[in-house]
């Protein structure tokens, strides 16, 4: 995978989480929390398991400059990891951003 592939995936999907594990089997607590939050938002989303291919994580880090996972993208924009997504969910910003991504 390349940074261009990361950009393509994030532009092809309104919500994407690059996570450790899958939607059904997250492999770390932070990835699990990010997936749970997006499930509560109630819109369709994709999860890319960074363990599926050893080139995913370096491409992701190069594309975003963010060294940790999960990385949550809404409307093609990387909004952060599980802590930021949780804070945005609690203050209503996440729902607004997701609604805007699905409206456009």
Is the distance from CB of 102 to CB of 43 less than 8 angstroms? yes
**Number of domains into which the chain is organized:** 1
Residues in the chain, total:
104
The confidence score (pLDDT) of residue 84 equals 97
Segment 6-44, tens digit of pLDDT: 999 999 999 999 999 999 999 999 999 999 999 999 999
The domain in which residue 42 lies consists of: 3-98
pTM listed for this prediction: 0.96
Q: Is residue 23 part of a domain?
A: yes
Return the ∠ at Cα 102 (arms to 51 and 81), rounded to 5°.
Answer: 35
Question: Can you name the residues that pair with 72 across neighbouring β-strands?
Answer: 17, 80
Q: Is residue 34 part of a domain?
A: yes
Question: Can you name the residues that pair with 17 across neighbouring β-strands?
Answer: 47, 72
Q: Is residue 104 part of a domain?
A: no
Lookup: tokens for 5: 């592939």
Residue 48: which CATH number? 3.40.30.10
Q: Is residue 52 part of a domain?
A: yes
């Amino acid at each position: 995978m390349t940074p261009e592939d990361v950009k393509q995936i994030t532009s092809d999907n309104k919500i994407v989480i690059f996570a450790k594990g899958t939607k059904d089997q997250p492999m770390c607590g932070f990835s699990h929390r990010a997936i749970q939050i997006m499930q509560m938002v109630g819109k369709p989303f994709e999860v890319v398991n960074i363990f599926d291919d050893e080139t995913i994580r370096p491409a992701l880090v190069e594309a975003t400059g963010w060294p940790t996972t999960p990385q949550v993208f809404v409307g093609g924009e990387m909004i952060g990891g599980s802590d930021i997504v949780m804070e945005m969910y609690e203050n209503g910003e996440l729902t607004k951003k997701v609604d805007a991504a699905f409206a456009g």
